[in-house]
Amino acid sequence: MIKSLLLITLVLQMCSTQILEVCNSCMFISQCKAATDLYYKRDYKSQKLLQEAYCGCQQYNGRVYLKVCCSDILPLEKRKENLLPNVCGSISGNRIIGGKKANLGEFPWMAVIRYKDSNRMCAGSVINSKYILTAAHCVFKFPIDYVIVGEYNLYEDPDCEYLPGNIVNCRPNIEMKVAKVIIHEQYESQSKPSKNDIALLRLDGVIDFQKSGVEPICLPVSSELRNKKLALKTGIVTGWGYTEDNEPSEVLLKVKVPVNRKCYAVNSLCAGKKNKDSCIGDSGGPLMMTDFYNNVSSYIQYGIVSYGPKKCGSSKGAVYVDVKQYVKWILDNLRE
């Protein structure tokens, strides 16, 4: 009864308003599937979206029918997808896969998380101009000082390489403050491996992709990518090689790791083999594979470095957050 009254109230409110959306797709709610789906959700967010798309109402056989701009209404998840870039994860044709040292600009979405405690460091990945994706355990207890994007050599700024013909290619490091830390609400730090070990950092500012040389990595947003079977496929992990007992590598490193058939952790991927695992990379960094995104071959981030064995390089490999299982959570927490 309460839900019926809410719907009646919605109809009366919208038909009495004088503010109408002008569009070429004004039609009855029943003729627009996206609007129908929202109508029967009957929650505040859905009503708000319908009100924003309202373009009139019409009486028929004594009943009042609402009209909406169908082209203005997208499923909520699809609307969030618009906050992710259409172009991402670019692959350079001259890259050499298989070595330990990455090339300058090879993985332009890599980010370094720096803390008040200068001895700590984690990694992350740029997913759009305002957000970094990382592991929850990287940001759960430790105050962040700033994030560096466009980083390659930890001890140089800018990072430069010499090309044939004595041409110098340089990329600046960009320090950015963090406006908000968003940790998964069901993150369990005490379990080993940690459950729901995923977090987002909203930057205090916007990354200028055109001027900085920084690019975002792609996420497995489409149903095809989310349903992809990854067992026995090979991914790439990148990072600066920092562990609690060792100094970080000066330059960005990369390693190829095979995804295991099964993983002992929920919503996770297990990957690596003897002497090939994420000890070569940082916590919070990406596990990625090449795939098609918007019909372009690109790097897709399928994992986040979460937890590894005490003995680095053991045959057991490491545990990665399975990003495919958290796409909805990521989209739900993005804001313009």
277 assigned to active site? no
Amino acid at 102: A
Catalytic residue among 283, 298, 306, 322: 283
Query: If DSSP codes are grouped into helix, strand and coil, which group holds residue 77?
Result: helix
145 assigned to active site? no
Catalytic residue among 72, 137, 159, 282: 137
Looking at the chain, which runs of residues are DSSP E strands?
26-28, 54-60, 63-69, 110-115, 121-128, 131-134, 144-149, 159-163, 167-171, 174-176, 178-183, 199-203, 234-239, 253-258, 268-271, 286-293, 296-307, 318-322
Edge to edge, what strands does the sheet with 54-60 contain? Answer: 26-28, 63-69, 54-60
Amino acid at 224: E
Cα torsion 76, 80, 86, 87: sign: negative
The Cα-based distances of 227 to 65, 142, 173, 217 in angstroms read 39, 34, 36, 19
72 assigned to active site? no
Catalytic residue among 197, 277, 282, 322: 197
Which of the residues are catalytic? 137, 197, 283
